[in-house]
Amino acid sequence: MSRLKKLVLATHNPDKKKEMKAAFGRQGLIVLSLDNFPEVGEIEETGATLLENSLLKARTVHRITGLPAIADDTGLEVDALDGAPGVFSARFAGENATYADNVNKLLLVMVSVAENVRTARFRTVASFVDGDRELWTEGVIEGEITREARGAGGFGFDPIFEVTQTGKTFAEMTAKEKNKISHRGLALRKMRELLTNIFKE
């Protein structure tokens, strides 16, 4: 059990790190990130699915650090684009694309797509690896792609993803509002429940 008191977040992304720490920071755990392990470089996401990429990252970080690791992979699935960009969401506009590059490309690609067929969803798969077990959970939220960016918060595609249940983009929400309903928040809460049961064993 003592081995599970430390948890490594398998991401270099500072925005993801904030959301993940918000989910696990109050569990009586020492939550570390890859900032604490400079020997872990960028992990190439070679999987064909979100689950494969998520497990790949968690397994790699656990192998290098020897500590339990949690990773996630998230994709934006746009119906008019047959589910793209999906696993390529972070690289939609190229390997070194910025958030703005990806947003601008998606807006351009969808410029002629009618209002009633701009539906999309965010999907997150979170994985936990500790050497004894591998667990995974999923979170999904429905919405649609707006015609222009709205809001100053969030990151990634947040400014152009309007959440169906609120009528707001993620970028128009506070971090607390977003985490309460988001795909990543849902996946991480499910994972937190699983880990709580493990800690009690």
pLDDT given at position 2: 45
Q: State the Cα–Cα distance between residues 94 and 72, nearest whole angstrom.
A: 21
Is 73 among the residues known to form the active site? yes
pLDDT given at position 107: 98
Band (pLDDT 50/70/90 cuts) for residue 25 is low
The reported pTM is 0.90
Looking at 73, 82, 132, 158, which residue is catalytic? 73
Element (H, E) at 111: none
Element (H, E) at 190: helix 183-200
CATH of span 2-200: 3.90.950.10
Dihedral-angle region of residue 28 (phi above 0 means left; psi in -120 to 50 means alpha; beta otherwise): left
Report which residue type is found at 142: E
Indicate the DSSP class of residue 169.
Answer: B
User: Regarding beta strands 134-145 and 161-163, do their DSSP bridges make them parallel or antiparallel, or are they unpaired?
Assistant: antiparallel
